[in-house]
Structure 1
């Protein structure tokens, strides 16, 4: 509800009179801040004030509940001497409140805000959000909506029952204005209501967690821990809540990293909304960017040049093509063998290469064949050396060596690795060194069924022991049942491990809680694709919709088609999670870890150059995993287009 200037003056006067009646001895700072908070109850916010104000205590002065979350508010020029008791009281009072589908209010959903003249070093902040009085309006930012109105109302009423020493304070506008509707019930999402349903907010994960997720957020681990589970089960949600949980109780920086270059910026935006008090302590960088920053700081010079890397591979292929094509004619297969198996594992000798189990590779190679591959690799390596160039694996290896030589001056309180299944072994070894040893220091998050790059490993291969510290999430909260029904028909492996050899859970075994949703299919020629895309996009919220392809060339073509039809787009390469009205377009590799209310997946004819049955089978399995990832990016609506015929 947006109040007119006249209505605002009316409710501020009411608020002032109400506070003067109940709390006549309030100091000016408390009176001004609480007057502003009470005034916002006329806009649908709920405010619970402590009955014994202004006496100091180990509890918050007020609890503010609304569509942007739950805030425990302390008004003071200086923070309380003991912040943790105030935070603990707030967490305990909300801990037993249940939402829909059996979910609980997460303790990490409560933001402790100290409003006043508090100034603290951003790098040392953690337990509370220091907010100057002049910035009080940040509590009410409409762009940060987490909950539909009905959930916020229910949550406030439940909190009132658990806070006997607090009372509701409410003022009314001079005339009632119509309130916006809340989310549609899941069972009410029918074909005619799809567009309206897609317009509603979908950020309740910041407040409510499944009991299993809730337990994992708070659990203490004596060493590295792992969270696995099928798509949509909230693995990253749990990781972000754990970052807040650990950050509130420890000093030191926090690191969220992943193999995907574009993913950290999106999750940084979400984390800043979830945990504003930790925003300056938390670093969100992809792993190669982190390694590059370290090497620059340590004055280690590496020339990582994509053009030189491609040239080095091409020259090596010209030299060894005849020998390798006798085994498998596809250049891409041998490029991957060097990139993901030899260099990705950090192998240094032919003897090591002959001994390893090449996880994820279907084409068996004997010793003589591996000798041919190793010669190909040596030529590639020598070509780089001759040009004074390095590849991305060299960057990770050099960063690892630097940390062994000289550990970080300011160790991380916690390192979260998202989409860990796509990180190479060289990357995992670096991450092990970054995190170091200690309780709750390293959290690995991933799902083997969503691996979109060839190859494979187990965490034990990187010297990361997680036995007894592994969690498998099984309840899908992202996708509605109509989307999951479609995704489960994609044969992306009937069994996966939990990233360390034990049996995992695949998507078809996940528990579904969100009814409704719809998946449509389309098959047609390339000349008809533009019209089909535009017609499908017309009723959808463009800012919450993505178009996903399986190659960069196909993504570029689809983006050109949309732009020519007057549909604004943004490349997933530049997507940060900030709201806008553009359709996001990119490959499945760039869509990893993201979700959208609506997804259009476009599948062009595959160009498969593999000849051997084993290589073709491996390529087909990889494509199926990529298709499953693309389909499960959709929350409410999925359109799957198959383009027939050659380009």
Structure 2
């Protein structure tokens, strides 16, 4: 039987084709039902004897380009282009097998050859070249072939290598990039260790076998129905694509907890998904894949299922439990105590007010509540002497011993009232769940994989530390503290998670264009942000290889005018071929999101509110900035980015009450805007009415 495959780069191009062309593509490839008929629909390219490329007719104007090896029955769809462009694409390119990875590579030979004379002329005027310090033997050992080697030997500057990213085979470019950045051949080998297979002698003429080894670049589909399912949602499938440079951290074996950091779009969530799936495939025990919110957990579960189906190994899913951290805490708690009687926010505030009324001191209820959470609970303070000695880093307001004793009196009374009335908070439920897990003779999980780690608090980290035994590959953590919009600052070593020497940072943004990324970075540039390990996080070297249109900003006179502008923007995106399911709209509050959704619905476009359904669909997703975490869209509109709404007044602790909490709240609001803007892949629109948010003051608005 013929095996049809899709080149992963094609998936993003397919999503940009007009709907009618997409339908024709699906119809054409339904003909690949068996090996007898598969070849009959493919046309050889005249004048290219021995070429493995073929074309297939889509309609009178469009042609598909297929890799069809002489031996074997795997047919890989590489591109769909207008007739003349398809034949030109074939004439310019060559397929080869990487000698180090054994995987298929497609390159633009003509573009590489055409650039050589100019590179040589530039090099002749310079004394040294970029890779003079690396020998040919090391290059070849890392999979650099003769054409790429000749190209590399002509380079004199880093910018030339950056410009060649689209020309060279991806893994070979990654090798050269690492060497140019100062890594030794051994370092590069380790960095791309999962992509480079030591000690194997691959047949470089067997393209069929190379395709089947190329799970990082090629998706095999099982018949026409599977093909149609993939092509129906290529954008969703692209979200689980693992780049070769990310594969090493997924495949690695660690002696303890490990952390992967990086800015938005660097693939941290994809790495977490693949890591959880790979650990499940190893079969050493159950894997917990967790995150902060239920919405993100649902997205992880959908993506994990898609990953398992695309890899053909659904059995491994039985060894992964996807569960957000609060749900884990409540599940463990209920198994022992039943359903807790929870104290809601309003009732908690009244309880603190009741306690402070008798203190006769300037201790606001909000300050005491935060002191209880950020110091007493976070640092496991259980007595007055412990509290007097406890560190209060980041709290902002200094307390002398006399005031501290009164604070402890209030906190102790609060805990006494909870116990007396049989009440629990989410924090105390988490605290009790950790105690129960620690007491278990046999842990439920062997591995824990954490996504969006920056939003977890100290209690949640201790819960996760107790969920798996301390051993190799126990905790795997991904996160970016510049995207913290929930939890307080946490130092992992203080909650029993030691990642020293086991941290990796991803620096290439695979989602957002350089224009959107650069603009969004301006929102948080210069802000001191911790790195979860006692230091400061840096976005230095963080970059995108994609280019596109700059973000569009607009100040409108009224909210109604802003909603009209939103409708006009969405209409233009749709006329440009963007599907409704590829468009997102973010606002700071539920009220603004609901009004934006209603305005779009009046224009006749399909809309869904993320607060009501996190499920993907063929409709425009509208939600709060918090709801946008973990999601991505081809086009995104941020509305209501004015001074009256961002920062949200109700989300700011009064500076007079608690200056430390006030500063953290401001940073959290700033990071929230940064998170929302970096959900956009290709186009970003940011609008406001009245004065702009102070977070936009330095961005030229």
List per-residue Cα deviations over 1:12-38 (Å, max 9, x = no partner). Answer: 58726979xxxxxxxxxxxxxxxxxxx
Cα 1:614/1:497, change in 2 over 3 Å: closer
* Most deviating of 527-536 and 41-50: 41-50
Cα 1:360/1:591, change in 2 over 3 Å: farther
Match of residue 313 from structure 1: 349
1:466: how far off? 1.0
Contact 2:606 2:619 in 1 (8 A): yes
SS at match of 1:291: helix
SS at match of 1:539: helix
Q: Where do residues 353-432 of structure 1 align in structure 2 (5 Å cutoff)?
A: 353-408=387-442, 411-412=445-446, 414-432=447-465
Alignment partner of 1:291 is 2:329: yes
Tell me, in whole angstroms, the C-alpha distance in 2 between the residues paired with 1:64 and 1:14: 10
Contact 1:492 1:621 in 2 (8 A): no
1:389: how far off? 2.2
Match of residue 36 from structure 2: 15
TM-score by length of 2: 0.64
1:594: how far off? 2.3
SS at match of 1:490: helix
Contact 2:554 2:686 in 1 (8 A): yes
1:470: how far off? 0.8
Match of residue 140 from structure 1: 227
* Most deviating of 465-474 and 275-284: 275-284
Cα 1:428/1:13, change in 2 over 3 Å: closer
Tell me, in whole angstroms, the C-alpha distance in 1 between the residues paired with 2:331 and 2:276: 22
Match of residue 521 from structure 1: 553
Q: 1:438 aligns with which of 445, 464, 471?
A: 471
Cα 1:595/1:344, change in 2 over 3 Å: farther
Tell me, in whole angstroms, the C-alpha distance in 1 between the residues paired with 2:688 and 2:384: 43
SS at match of 1:303: coil
SS at match of 2:294: coil
Match of residue 114 from structure 1: none
Tell me, in whole angstroms, the C-alpha distance in 2 between the residues paired with 1:582 and 1:592: 16
Tell me, in whole angstroms, the C-alpha distance in 1 between the residues paired with 2:99 and 2:510: 26
Match of residue 458 from structure 1: 491
Contact 2:529 2:537 in 1 (8 A): yes
1:258: how far off? 0.9
Cα 1:518/1:437, change in 2 over 3 Å: same
Alignment partner of 1:93 is 2:180: no
List per-residue Cα deviations over 1:470-513 (Å, max 9, x = no partner). Answer: 1112222221122122212213654434311244322x641221
Tell me, in whole angstroms, the C-alpha distance in 2 between the residues paired with 1:273 and 1:221: 26
Contact 1:230 1:473 in 2 (8 A): yes
1:582: how far off? 2.9
1:289: how far off? 1.1
* Most deviating of 360-369 and 268-277: 360-369
Match of residue 538 from structure 1: 571
Match of residue 271 from structure 2: 238
Match of residue 610 from structure 1: 654
Cα 1:600/1:12, change in 2 over 3 Å: closer
Q: 1:216 aligns with which of 221, 226, 249?
A: 249
Match of residue 628 from structure 2: 591
List per-residue Cα deviations over 1:306-344 (Å, max 9, x = no partner). Answer: 53x5313323224416969836x6x55544443444334
Tell me, in whole angstroms, the C-alpha distance in 2 between the residues paired with 1:452 and 1:485: 20
Q: Where do residues 133-172 of structure 1 align in structure 2 (5 Å cutoff)?
A: 136-137=223-224, 139-143=226-230
Contact 2:563 2:599 in 1 (8 A): yes
Contact 1:229 1:505 in 2 (8 A): no
Tell me, in whole angstroms, the C-alpha distance in 1 between the residues paired with 2:26 and 2:481: 55
* Most deviating of 612-621 and 271-280: 612-621
Match of residue 666 from structure 2: 620
Tell me, in whole angstroms, the C-alpha distance in 2 between the residues paired with 1:306 and 1:557: 31
Tell me, in whole angstroms, the C-alpha distance in 2 between the residues paired with 1:9 and 1:238: 33
List per-residue Cα deviations over 1:197-220 (Å, max 9, x = no partner). Answer: xxxx47546445152x23222221
Alignment partner of 1:630 is 2:676: yes
Unaligned 5+ residue runs, structure 2? 1-21, 41-54, 59-63, 80-97, 108-164, 173-191, 196-214, 216-220, 574-578, 693-701
Cα 1:348/1:536, change in 2 over 3 Å: farther
Q: Where do residues 35-114 of structure 1 align in structure 2 (5 Å cutoff)?
A: 63=74, 65-66=76-77, 92-94=101-103, 100=166, 103-104=170-171
Contact 1:480 1:515 in 2 (8 A): yes
Contact 1:482 1:516 in 2 (8 A): yes
1:229: how far off? 1.9
Aligned positions, number: 515
Match of residue 73 from structure 1: none
Contact 1:262 1:573 in 2 (8 A): no
Contact 1:230 1:510 in 2 (8 A): yes
Contact 1:269 1:577 in 2 (8 A): no
Contact 2:449 2:477 in 1 (8 A): yes
1:222: how far off? 0.9
Tell me, in whole angstroms, the C-alpha distance in 2 between the residues paired with 1:483 and 1:321: 50
Match of residue 581 from structure 1: 619
Cα 1:467/1:565, change in 2 over 3 Å: same
1:418: how far off? 0.9
List per-residue Cα deviations over 1:32-73 (Å, max 9, x = no partner). Answer: xxxxxxxx988869687896xxxxxxxxx86564589xxxxx
TM-score by length of 1: 0.69
Cα 1:91/1:263, change in 2 over 3 Å: farther
1:626: how far off? 1.8
Cα 1:547/1:210, change in 2 over 3 Å: same
Match of residue 305 from structure 2: 272
Tell me, in whole angstroms, the C-alpha distance in 1 between the residues paired with 2:222 and 2:438: 44
Cα 1:138/1:354, change in 2 over 3 Å: farther
List per-residue Cα deviations over 1:271-315 (Å, max 9, x = no partner). Answer: 22222223343222111112223334x3422414353x5313323
Cα 1:554/1:16, change in 2 over 3 Å: closer
List per-residue Cα deviations over 1:527-574 (Å, max 9, x = no partner). Answer: 433223222222334322222233444444444554456554333235
